[in-house]
Amino acid sequence: MQKVVVAISGGVDSSVAVYLLKEKGFTVEGIFFCLFDEPPGVEFAKKIAEFFNIKLHIWDLRESFKQMVIEPFFRGYKSGITPNPCVLCNRYIKFPTLKKVADLVNAKFFATGHYARIIREDDSFFLSKGVDRKKDQSYFLYGIDKKLLNQLIFPIGEYLKEEVREIATKAGIPSKIAEESVDVCFLKNKRYYDMIKSSPGPIIEKSTGKIIGQHKGIHLFTIGQRKRLNISVGYPAYVVEIDPIINAVYIASYNEVYKKEFYVTDLNWFSNPKEIFVCTVKIRYTMEPQPATITLVSENKVKVSYHTPQFAPTPGQSAVFYDGDKVIGGGIILKE
């Protein structure tokens, strides 16, 4: 039997991933990541391992998670960008650790309960969208090292969320074990902006340069935002720029939030890119990828030119490049 290590979070998705792999005849071992103090899922993970009668490894990753995810998260907001902690965690913490543990226990494969797929074309492996378009998580996974894909399995990637729940019910997995996980896990239901100290500063109208109000901290804002401005300018105002140097938030009308071009860095590729190519690009998890031309500027920087302007490309967030369902690569949106 081939062995696989499965990341167990305590939720329904990872539980069903274990079930499906066992059904296929794999020898399964689980791993729970301790990422911050008092991780809420550890007892659930132990119950899942007991339920399936599998060995559970508990790995303390709190220090590396703090350095590579939590600190950049808060540092990003203080510098006027909107970070994406899930991307950082997947790229630098979860999947490298899965690889390490798989090697230690002589497992050929490792797996998670993400809604995505690994596809094989000839001798190459690629990341692809999950079948459930509403739950597809490929956007958060683009940073995985391509070298890991031939060992990686996403067991629930071929299923809809409703089907996963049905499998959990039929398998008898207790519902309290199959709770949903939280997106920004380390906030523990707190609001990030309540955890950052920042100074008040001016709200400036971009077109005129006039100071039209005061904000309570740049960390409270992201590009495209309307809430918490508390100003009146005679038109619906949106945040279009955040300047940490002068501690200013710039606003403009709705149309000015749309952009055709921006730059992306910190790139990860699943296939060698041409100097110029056309694909679809997704700049937030909830949007449909839209057509764009990608131009390589340097080894670690590209220009994205949308064919139609898109709402609020946001510095610090990820831009992910697709060829149909297949992920070509992606990176972090730069400030101008």
User: How far apart, in whole angstroms, are the C-alpha atoms of residue 54 and residue 27?
Assistant: 9
Query: Residue 220's Cα: distance from chain center in Å?
Result: 20
Contact, 315 vs 334, CB < 8 A?
A: yes
Dig out the tokens for 324 from the structure.
């149909």
Which long-range contacts does 81-84 make (Cβ < 8 Å, 24+ apart)? Answer: 81/242, 81/314, 81/315, 81/316, 81/335, 82/222, 82/223, 82/314, 82/315, 82/316, 82/317, 83/316, 83/317, 84/140, 84/316, 84/317, 84/318, 84/332
Q: Quick one: angle between helices 12-23 and 42-52, nearest 10?
A: 20
Instruction: Choose the catalytic residue: 34, 86, 89, 279.
Output: 89
In the block, tokens 């519902």 appear at 175
Q: Is 185 a catalytic residue?
A: yes
Would you state the structure tokens that stand for residue 31, as one six-digit string?
């791993």
CA nearest to 138, candidates 265, 335, 328, 302: 328
Residue 68's CB is within 10 A of a number of other CB atoms, namely 17
Q: Which residues pair with 59 in a beta bridge?
A: 33
CA-based nearest residue to 171, from 182, 152, 155: 155
For residue 134, give both structure tokens. Answer: 């509403």
Residues shown for the chain: 336
Is 34 part of the annotated catalytic residue set?
Answer: no
Alpha helix segments (H runs only) across the chain: 12-23, 42-52, 62-65, 71-78, 85-89, 95-104, 138-141, 161-171
Q: Which residues are catalytic?
A: 89, 185
